[in-house]
Chain A
Amino acid sequence: MIKRALALTVALLLVWMMFDMLINWNAPKDLSGVAREYVEKEPHQLGAVNVVTAIVVTYRGFDTLGEVTVLFLAATGVAVLLSRRKKEPKPGKKKYRPASEFLNTGTHLLSPFIVMFGAYIFLNGHLSPGGGFQGGAVIASGVLFLFLVFPNFKLNHLALNWLESTAGASYVLVGILGLLLAAGFLDNRFLPLGHYGALLSAGAIPVIYTFIGLKVGTELSGILENLKN
């Protein structure tokens, strides 16, 4: 009873705080401070049409490297925790219920396009919304479709691990190239900025996002496969 009263009091206090904030909140009319700096200077400095991408990959590149590392650790943790299961001998060949006609046909039609769309998202990360993480997640959802329809579908582990570690190492290498050839770690300006709005523009941003996309896609696919087995 006392516990409930306490919880209710805390909840009411939070409501009062939030209500106060909500009543006095006004939508900002224009950008302020660092946001305006980014929006005004980014096209000349980095040459990416999508300012969000320029912030994520270059201005805040360290955060992105940290996020990629966190995802890598999560994927490794899942692999370590679930790999013990694989050593047990499988009790015969398991019978799986075949996937329904809808799922079957839909997967056959859509999965190549889903993977292609994922590649499109991370290749156009500097031009349109999205980027490496989104593209990688879309690719992994294409792989998820394949797992759902073909229960015995196996990914090539050697190629997957090789691709993942190469992409991760290349990402750091591109960052170091920025340190050596341009202004700092993960600076994109050691490659030419190119024509503003073209596919091959914005220096190293498309290169970095391609590596991130490959890495995230292979990691999420690896997590899904580990969970499936």
Chain B
Amino acid sequence: MTEILLILLGIGMVGAAIMAVHLKNLVAAAVAGGIVSLFASVVYVVLAAPDVAMTEAAIGAGLSTAIFLYAIKKTREQEVEHD
């Protein structure tokens, strides 16, 4: 049961991470990055590390996403291609 949950969460984390890299809309990419942290914090709870889970949820999913969003608001919302 725990293994299935962990595998599902891992798949979700990898999927959200790929979305964070590939999405053109930066706001959506920042939110996808926050989802990676959110799933990671659940994984930490399952792996019996509640201290790390608290840090990951508060800083990774909460504050750093908000800081990314503020930074995107200050710059521009679309990724610019450089080739």
Contact = CB atoms under 8 A, between A and B. Distances in A.
Contact of B67 (A50, A131, A133, A224): A224
Contacts of B62: 137, 141, 144
B54 A140 contact: no
Given A137-B59, A141-B62, A144-B62, A121 B67 contact: no
A134 interface: yes
B18 interface: no
Nearest to A148: B66
Interface in A170-229: 220, 223-224, 227-228
Sort chain B's interface into a size bin: 10 to 19
Contacts of A224: 63, 66-67, 70
A35 to B, nearest CB: 14
A179 B54 CA distance: 31
A50 B51 CA distance: 10
A144 B66 CA distance: 8
A131 B62 CA distance: 17
B44 to A, nearest CB: 10
Contacts of B76: none
Nearest to A137: B58
Interface in B27-76: 50-51, 53-55, 58-59, 62-63, 66-67, 70-71, 74
Nearest to B58: A137
A138 B58 contact: yes
B55 A134 contact: yes
Nearest to B67: A227
| Cβ-closest 8 pairs across A and B | A137-B58, A129-B50, A227-B70, A134-B54, A141-B62, A129-B51, A137-B59, A130-B54
Interface of A: 50, 52, 121, 129-131, 133-134, 137-138, 140-141, 144, 220, 223-224, 227-228
Interface of B: 50-51, 53-55, 58-59, 62-63, 66-67, 70-71, 74
Given A50-B51, A138-B54, A227-B70, 16 more contacts: A52-B51, A130-B54, A133-B55, A133-B59, A134-B55, A137-B55, A137-B58, A137-B59, A138-B58, A141-B62, A141-B63, A144-B62, A224-B63, A224-B67, A227-B74, A228-B70
